[in-house]
Amino acid sequence: LKETFIIQSTIPTLVIMPILASEAKGDVDFATNVVTMTTIAYLAVLPLWSLFLFLI
């Protein structure tokens, strides 16, 4: 169960954030960049977390 919570905490940010930023007259470019960067980071970090968690 602990592993599930840790893996879920590494998922990318809310992908609807650019739409919400647009509706709230916020910075859509920044919101899009945040979603993109966290998705890329997730793809890099997930295998490392999985390896680490299952070696414990």
pLDDT digits (tens, 9 = 90+) for 4-56: 777 777 777 788 899 999 999 999 999 999 999 988 988 888 888 888 887 87
pTM: 0.69
CA distance 23 to 49: 35
Write the CB contacts of 4 (distance below 8 Å, at least 6 apart in sequence).
none
Calculate the dihedral angle through the C-alpha atoms of 14, 19, 23, 26, rounding to the nearest 10 degrees.
70
CA distance 54 to 5: 14
CA distance 46 to 28: 27
